[in-house]
Chains A and B, each alone.
Chain A
Amino acid sequence: MMDFLKRFSRNRGAVIGAVILITVVLLAVLAPLLYPESPWKMVQRPFLPPFSVEGFPLGTDTLGRDVASGLVHGARVSLIVGLVSTLVALLIGVPLGAFAGFYGGLVDDGAMRFTEFFQTIPNFALAIVLVAIMEPTLPTITLAIAIVSWPPVARLVRAEVLSLRKREFVDAARLAGLSNTRILFGHILPNAMSPIIVMASLMVATAILLESSLSFLGLGDPNIMSWGYMIGAARTVIRSAWWLSFIPGVAILLTVLALNLIGEGLNDALNPRLARKGR
C-alpha cells in the first residue's frame, strides 16, 4: 500500500488530478450545506456577470438562478452518474468477459458476438434512443450510460483472463483440485484487477462526458440541476452571455481531466513494469 502511494505520487499529474477530484467531491458532498436552497430558485436579477454582485461570485443565469449553486449541485449529479454507471458497466462487463475468456469455446463465441454487437452500435446514439424512450430520469440515464459503456470492459477482462489462464500457476491450481469458480475468482481475477481499476477510472470520466452531453441535448432529469443542462440552457444567449456556458464547461473539463490524470497515475502505480516500458 505504501509502495502504491509512493509510486502514484511520483506522477505529478496524478497528484494534481487527485487534488482536483477531492475538491469536486467535497463540493458535491457539502452542497446542501453550502447552498441549502434549491439551485432552481431565482435569487437575483438575471444575467449578472461573475464577480459583479457580492454573494454571487459566478453571477446568475438567464432566469436569475445562482450559477455557483447550480455548479455545486451539478457536481453531485456528475459524480453519482459517473460512479454508478461505471459500477453497473463493470457488473455486466467483468463477469461476461471473465466467463468468455475462462471457458472459451461456445461460451466465448456467444459472449463476444453479443459484445461486438453492442460495440458496433454507435454508443452515444444508443444512449440518446434509450433515454428518450425510457423518459429521462437519473436512474434511466445512469442505466443507459452503463449499457453503452460495458463492451470495452468485457473485452479487456476477456483478454486478461485469456492470457492469465494459460499461466502455469493456473494449471497448478487445477492440479490441486480446485473448482473452476475458485480458480477464476481466487487466482485469475485478482491478477486482472490492476487494468480493470485503471479502466474504471477512465470510464467514470467518459460517463461524466456522456451524462453532460445528454443533458445538454435536453435529455437530463428535468428535476435535477446538472452541468450539461446549464450549458444547454445558456446556449441561446451564447452571444451576449458566453460565460454562462463557459463556467460549467470548465467544471466538466476539470473533473474529466482529473479522472484521466488519476487513471494514468494508477496505471503507473499498479503496472510499474508496463509503465516503465512505455516511457
Chain B
Amino acid sequence: MELAERLLMGDRRAAARLISMMENKDPEAQEIMRQLYSQSGKAYVIGITGPPGAGKSTLTDKLVKHVRKTGAKVGVIAVDPTSPFTGGAILGDRVRMSDLATDPGVFVRSMGARGHLGGISEATSAAVKILDIYGAEYIFIETVGVGQSEVDIVKNSDTTVMVSVPGLGDDIQAIKAGVMEIGDVFAVNKADRDGANRTAREIEMMLDFSHADWRPPVKMVVAVDSKGIEELFAAIEDHRHYMMEDGKFMLRRAENARNELLEMVKSRIVEQLLNHDVKAERVEQLAMDVATRVVDPLTAAEELIQSVL
C-alpha cells in the first residue's frame, strides 16, 4: 500500500517514515504532503517551551497522560535545535516520557537540528501535519530551550505554554527580553521549591505591561508529582475557547502560516543559491568582495536575488 494511504489509515510506521522523509527533503514525501495537505488542520497544537532545566519533558509527559484520560490520540514532537558541529545529536527527551512508549494512543518523535537549511522549524511543521493526518487530536511540540529557533518552532502552535522554575533568575530576564510575548499560558514548575511564588509574581508583573485582550494565566505545577496538571490543562483549554471566539483561531493560524511561508521562501532562495555550483561560487566571491569593500552588501544581495528570480 502507498505511504499516503497507510498514513490516512493511521499506520504509525507510515507516519514515522514520512516524518523522516520530510526531514530529509525527500521529493516523494513532499509530493505526498502536497496531496494530503487539505486533510490536516484538525489537531490542536500546543507548544511547550522554557529554559533548560525547567522540567518541560516531564510536564509534557504528565499533560499527555492527562489528555489520554479523554481517549484522544496524542502526538508529541520533542525538538532539540542545538546543533553540534559534527552534525550528530543525542536526543534524550524520551527518557522522561518512557511510560508513553507503551500507550498505543501516543506517538512520540524526537527531532534534531541537523544544521541544514530551512532549519528545524520547517521539519517540525511537516511532522505536525503528518501526525495530524495520522489522527492525533492533540499535538505537543516541546523544545529544549528558549532561543530564537525555539521561538520559531513554537510559532507552529495554537497555544504556547511558557514553563519557568524558581531559582533560574537569569532565565526570567531572558524570557522578559524577547520571548515573553509568545506565552499564552505560563506554568511555574517545581512550585514546591522556595521562591516559586516570587517567580509567579515576577511573571505577573511582566504581564501587567501588556494590554492585550487575553491575559495569560500563571499556573503553579509540580510536574514530577502530577500536581497542578489538571489546572494547567484547563488553562490551555480556556485559551483554546477564547481563540475559537470571533475567528481569532483562524487569524492565528493565518499568522502561523504567514511565518511558515516567509521562512520557506527565504530558505528556498538560499537553497537555490547554494545548491547551484556557479551561483554558490558567486556567493563566495561576493562575500569576499563585500569584506574587501569592493562592493557594498546591498548591491551584492540584489545581484544574488536577481540571479534566482
Tell whether A and B belong to one assembly: no
Residues of chain A touching chain B, judged by Cβ–Cβ distance below 8 Å, are: none
